[in-house]
Amino acid sequence: MGDIMPAGGPTQDEVMAISLFKMGLGPRDTVFDLGCGTGKVSIAAAGLAKKVYAVDRRPEAIAYAKDAAEQAGRTNIEFYSGEAIDFLTTAPLADCAFVGGSQQIETILPVLSQKVRRVIVVNAVLVSTLATVTTTMQGLGIFREAVHVQVARSHELGKSLMFRPVDPVYIIVGSGAACS
Give per-residue pLDDT as tens, 25-52.
999 999 999 999 999 999 999 999 999 9
Domains and CATH numbers, the chain: 13-174 (3.40.50.150)
Give the separation between CA 111 and CA 86, rounded to whole angstroms.
10
DSSP string, 1-16: ------TT-SPPHHHH
The residue ranking higher by pLDDT, 103 or 179, is 103
173-6-41 Cα angle (round to 5): 45
- Average predicted confidence (pLDDT) for the chain: 93
Average pLDDT over residues 115-139: 96
Q: Exposure of 2 by Cβ count < 10 A (0-12 exposed, 13-18 middle, 19+ buried)?
A: exposed
Does the pTM of the predicted model rise above 0.85? Answer: yes
The pLDDT score that the predictor gives to residue 9 is 67
Average pLDDT over residues 53-81: 97
The pLDDT score that the predictor gives to residue 176 is 86
Q: Which pLDDT band, with edges at 50, 70 and 90, does 4 fall under?
A: very low
Average pLDDT over residues 70-91: 97
